[in-house]
Chain A
Amino acid sequence: MSQTGIVPGHTDQQPSPFLLSVNNIEVIYNHVILVLKGVSLDVPEGSIVALLGGNGAGKSTTLKAISNLLASERGDVTKGSVEFRGERVDQLTPDALVKRGVVQVMEGRHCFGHLTVEENLLTGAYTRKASRAEIAQDLEKVYHYFPRLKVRRQSQAGYTSGGEQQMVAVGRALMARPSMILLDEPSMGLAPQIVEEIFEIVKDLNQKERVSFLLAEQNTMVALRYANFGYILENGRVVMDGAADELASNEDVKEFYLGLGGDGRKSFREVKHYRRRKRWLA
């Protein structure tokens, strides 16, 4: 105890003051592919935290490590811990975590294609032991945030548009009455105004329903506009973090993520160069 007492910040012995704390996790796929090499991040209660980075940086892996969805993809958390409200949750099953209030909205939406929109939403309440009236009330609430879904409630989800499917996926998560949503790339494949619409709703949910978000995005610009705080992930490591507005105005971030309009993110080699330079600067 006297040893750890000197170390600033929280340790395994002291419960974290944050809603969600990821402490130095390492993830290996198929027993050999090391994908996360010690990722730590914190999500304060009531905040929106962005997890940024290019293709294959490890954003989705981080989210799945938190929600315990790695097992079914032959991934393992081999080091580190995840705490939610100060309690270790890394050994829980996904449904136990949903019951505690953490739900993941997976990349690519993953609606149940053959179920109607409304049935999709109802599956989100699977873990709850709520009365019919309560569920109906929550459905109305989801329809309040996503009026478009109400119109399409009887359509098979597989035949709705990409934007609507993203709304279904978020609405479905809301039906669990979560205190935290792990939202993986909501902007993927959507037109800019739909992306904006969805982020507005995320902001609304954050402010009115007090849902905290950990948001994985490649779309750095939009994500930083809505987030309070951001982490930048490269090659399985956090290479930078800071308040969203600071990150957005940081020259390096601008150069590598914002400045190069269109699809022009720099190549992997240049990213490495960037990391090397960071070390010199530090």
Chain B
Amino acid sequence: MQFFIEVMVGGLLAGVMYSLVALGFVLIYKASGVFNFAQGALVLFAALTFVSIEKMGVPFWIALAITLGIMVLMGVAIERIVLRRLVNQPPISLFMATIGLSFFIEGLAQTVWGTEVHGLELGITDEPFDVMGVFISKFDLFAATLSGVLVAGLALFFQKTKLGRALRAVADDHQAALSVGIPLKHIWAIVWAVAGFVALVAGMLWGSRLGVQFALTLVVLKALPVLILGGFTSVPGAIVGGLIVGAGEKLAEVYLGPFIGGGIENWFPYMLALVFLLVRPEGLFGERHIERV
């Protein structure tokens, strides 16, 4: 039993890290109704930028602030150069644009900062500690707490603030949002900047796990089943989806692995997502697609 709990808690905490990546997708999706293929590239770019600046001898917090500034500028630039021209175009056009952006940002990151793998030290050791007989990784706990705070903040922001409401309005109908005087340009710049910030947090946590390298862009693949489970439009959904995927894959690995063979961890979340797609395509918390109107 204790072993079960340990596996599960480890899985849940790791799952929160998936949630964090998924969150970036949810943000853009909520504010423009489009799946942002470039989120993984943003994660890489943010982490790489931060590490490279820190390597120049800049103190941690200042490097963080500079990186954040760069991510905000990037959000504004993406709106100026790409999105502004695509207002009111079909979502598929926007989606294609984010694919293009994704390759551009990956290329940019590696051209500017190089392709070598960097280590990233957050100053939190990955030593386990004992909570009522269950060993929990300190790093996992830290990551989970940080993600939790971020998610709670964003959920409140979307639900309770004027700007959050405007973001949701934009996601529903660009043209109508313009007609009531919501300035789409500002809104999109803000959202991409916030998505850049979330990417930075995710990039730092994942970077300190895996090392800051190109493979970070692949982390987004794990975010897909999280999104399908939780729903593309729901901030809390991203968290719950992450928890399910995290715990599910670890438990499957440990308990089903011996029977089916190892490596379940790698495909189990996608199986789960597939089943979910069949049963509840909008996800646990996602908005149902409203057909009338």
Report yes or no: A126 in contact with B166, Cβ–Cβ below 8 A.
Answer: yes
**Does A112 lie at the interface of the complex (its beta carbon under 8 Å from any beta carbon of B)?**
yes
* With A72-B175, A110-B175, A112-B173: A123-B180 Cβ-Cβ less than 8 Å: yes
Expressed in whole angstroms, the Cα–Cα distance for A119 and B165 within the complex equals: 7
Nearest Cβ in chain A — how far from B169, in angstroms?
Answer: 5
Measured CA separation A224–B171 after assembly (Å) = 37
Chain B residues with Cβ under 8 A from A126's Cβ?
162, 166, 180-182
- Interface flags for B279-293 (1: CB within 8 Å of A; 0: not) read 000000001001011
User: CB-CB contacts of B164-206 with A at 8 A, as 1s and 0s?
Assistant: 0110110111111111111100000000000000000000000
Task: Tell me the A24-69 residues at the B interface (CB within 8 Å).
Answer: 67, 69
B87: Cβ under 8 A from any A Cβ:
yes
Query: Taking A114-B168, A126-B162 as contacts, is the C-beta distance between A98 and B293 under 8 angstroms?
Result: no
Specify which chain B residues have a CB less than 8 angstroms from the CB of A106 in the assembled complex.
175-176, 179
- A94 lies within 8 A of B293 (CB): no
Q: How many residues of B contact A (CB 8 A)?
A: 25
Query: Contacts of A165 on B, CB cut-off 8 Å?
Result: 293
A176 touches B290 (CB 8 A): no
Q: Does A127 lie at the interface of the complex (its beta carbon under 8 Å from any beta carbon of B)?
A: yes
Partner of B290, one of A67, A93, A113, A123: A113
Q: Which residues of the partner chain A approach B233 to less than 8 Å between Cβ atoms?
A: 114
Most buried by B among A127, A158, A159, A173: A158
A73, A94, A122: the one within 8 Å of B181 (CB): A94
Bound CA–CA A173/B168 (angstroms):
18
B88 at the interface (CB under 8 A from A): yes
* Min CB gap A67→B, angstroms: 7
The A/B interface has a contact count, at CB < 8 Å, of 91
CB-nearest residue of chain B to A74: B88
Given A95-B182, A103-B181, A158-B290, A72-B165 contact (CB < 8 Å): no
B residues within 8 A CB of A98?
180-181
- Out of A95, A111, A159, name the residue touching B176 (CB < 8 Å): A111
Give the CA-CA distance A271 to B161 in the complex, in Å. 52
Complex Cα gap A105–B173 (Å): 13
Mark interface residues in B82-101 (1 if CB within 8 Å of A CB, else 0): 00000110000000000000
Contact with B along A112-135 (1 / 0, CB 8 A): 111100011011101100000000
B162:A113 contact, CB within 8 angstroms: no
Give the interface residue-count category, chain A: 35 or more
Docked-complex contact B169 and A115, CB < 8 angstroms? yes
| Closest Cβ neighbor of A158 among chain B residues | B290
Q: From residue A225, how far is it (CB to closest CB) to chain B in Å?
A: 27
| B181/A112 in contact, CB under 8 A | no
CB proximity to B under 8 Å, residues A67-118 = 67, 69, 71-73, 93-95, 97-99, 103-106, 109-115
| Closest Cβ neighbor of B292 among chain A residues | A158
Chain A residues near B87 (CB-CB < 8 A): 71-72
Other-chain contact of B179, A103, A115, A159 (Cβ < 8 Å) = A103
Establish whether residues A123 and B287, one from each chain, have CB atoms under 8 Å apart when the complex forms.
no
How far is it, in angstroms, between the C-alpha of A98 and the C-alpha of B88 when the chains are bound?
19
Please tell me if the beta carbons of A110 and B173 are within 8 angstroms of each other in the complex: yes
Q: Smallest CB–CB gap between B103 and chain A, Å?
A: 27
Q: Using A93-B183, A95-B181, A176-B181 as known contacts, say yes or no to A122 and B165 having CB atoms under 8 A apart.
A: yes
Shortest beta-carbon distance from A215 to chain B in Å: 16
- In the docked arrangement, what's the CA distance between A97 and B87, Å? 19
Q: Does A219 contact B (CB under 8 A)?
A: no
A114 lies within 8 A of B172 (CB): yes
Whether, in the assembled complex, A172 has its beta carbon less than 8 Å from a beta carbon of chain B, the answer is yes
Known: A103-B180, A111-B173. 13 other contacts (CB 8 A): A72-B88, A72-B175, A94-B178, A106-B179, A113-B172, A113-B293, A114-B287, A119-B168, A119-B169, A126-B182, A127-B180, A158-B292, A158-B293
Can you give 10 contacting A-B residue pairs, CB < 8 Å?
A: A73-B88, A94-B179, A94-B181, A103-B179, A110-B173, A113-B293, A122-B162, A123-B165, A123-B180, A156-B290
What are the nearest 6 A-B pairs in CB distance? A98-B181, A158-B290, A110-B176, A127-B181, A72-B88, A112-B172
